[in-house]
Amino acid sequence: MGEEIGTLETETAELSTTLGAVKKTFDDPVLSAIVTDNKFLYNHWKEVKRSMGACEETLKGLEKLFENIASADSGLLKKVEKQIKLFVKNGEMTLCNRRIKAYRTTLKFSLNLIGMYVSLP
């Protein structure tokens, strides 16, 4: 289970970085003006932004789960306590993992859609 958590933490960190880059794009006044002038792009990016906000909330929840698991008391029972916390939180982590995969798929689809739109004559 430790390897699964490590993988999930890595995926979470990578997605957080991507979200930061997307947020910078939304905040750029030049790009914002271009998007605002095009109804298709405006509506599309509005939905992407909404989805990324939901993703950010999922990542914050997952971060709290990791912090809770890592907060096991020191001593002989630390490892046992951590294993129990992992077992109890496994369902929540699985749900977060599914959400993260869905957000990544949405982001990929969005980029492909915009790429097709931009390449149209």
Query: Domain residues of the chain, as ranges?
Result: 2-119
Write down the pLDDT at residue 117. 64
- Residue partners of 64: CB distance under 8 A and separation at least 6: none
For residue range 39-97, what is the model confidence (pLDDT) as tens digits?
877 887 788 878 888 888 888 888 887 777 777 666 666 777 777 777 777 788 788 88
Query: Whole-structure pTM over 0.75, yes or no?
Result: no
For residue range 109-118, what is the model confidence (pLDDT) as tens digits?
877 777 676 6
Q: Report the C-alpha gap between 79 and 83 in whole angstroms.
A: 6
Write down the pLDDT at residue 75. 65
Write down the pLDDT at residue 120. 59
Q: Report the C-alpha gap between 95 and 102 in whole angstroms.
A: 11
Query: For 3-30, what is the mean pLDDT?
Result: 74
Q: Classify residue 48 by burial, with Cβ atoms within 10 Å: 0-12, 13-18, 19+.
A: buried
Tokens of 31: 């790009």
Q: Report the C-alpha gap between 68 and 104 in whole angstroms.
A: 25
Check whether 2 has a pLDDT greater than 70: no
Write down the pLDDT at residue 62. 81
Helix (H) / strand (E) containing 79:
helix 78-119
Contact in structure between 58 and 99 (CB atoms under 8 Å): yes
Give residue for tokens 């995969």.
101
Give me the DSSP letters along 7-19: HHHHHHHHHHHHH
